[in-house]
Amino acid sequence: MSDPFPGMVFPPPGGSYASVDDLLLVSDLCEMDLVITRWKRNGASLRIRVRTLDFDQQERIERGALIKIDEKVVRSESRFACLTLKEAIIVPQLNEAQARQMAQHNPSIIAVIVRFVWDVLSGLDQETIDAIVESDIPDPAGAAHDAATDDNRGGESADSFLVGESYRVEPERDSAPLAV
C-alpha cells in the first residue's frame, strides 16, 4: 500500500515546532539529470537537468496553456509541454521562444519528460533520488532491478534501476542521470 502522505510522520503530542524561518529556508525542490537516449548529437545521447516545479511555476504553466477555441477554453497540450520544459529544465535553460521550438520534436519523447517532471519528480525527495542512485534498493515505483541489457536500450549497463515504465536511473561517476 502506498503512503498517502509521503515524507510526513505523525509524532506523538509534545516536542518543538518548526519556526517560520525553518519553513521558509527548507530546500525541497529536487533536481535530477535526464539522459534522452533518443536525442543524439555526434553519436552521444543528450543530457538535461530538471527541477521539481514549485506552485507558482505550476500555475504559470496551467494558465499559460489555456486557449480559446470556439468560445470554449481548453488546455493546449503543446503549450503545456513547452511551458513545462521552459520552467523545469534548468540546464540548459530555455527561454520562451526556445521552449516553443521544442514543439517541433517527437511528441512522445516530450510527453515522457513532461510526465516525469509532473508525476514522478514531484513525488520524490532528493534523499530518495540519491539512495536509488547510490545503492541496490528498489526504485520508488516498485519496478524490478534491470539485471540484463535490453535491446531497446542499446546494450546499456545492467547497473540500472527502472522508475516506472519509461524512466531509468543509471549510476555514473559524477551524477546520476535518468535515461528516457
DSSP string, 125-161: -HHHHHHHHHS-PPPTT-PPEE-S--GGGTS--SSEE
Residue 18 included in any domain? no
Domain count along the chain: 1
Residue 1 included in any domain? no
| 58 phi, psi to nearest 5 deg | -60, -45
Residue 91 included in any domain? yes
Alpha carbon distance 102, 97 (integer Å): 9
pLDDT, averaged in runs of 10, over the chain (180 residues): 70 86 88 89 93 95 95 95 96 94 91 92 75 56 32 34 37 50
Coil, helix or strand for 137? coil
Alpha carbon distance 141, 178 (integer Å): 14
Residue 13 included in any domain? no
DSSP run (H or E) holding 165: none
pTM of the model: 0.68
Alpha carbon distance 52, 32 (integer Å): 9
Domain limits for position 61: 26-179
Residue 2 included in any domain? no
Residue 28 pLDDT = 82
Residue 140 included in any domain? yes
Residue 133 pLDDT = 66
Residue 5 included in any domain? no
Residue 155 pLDDT = 35
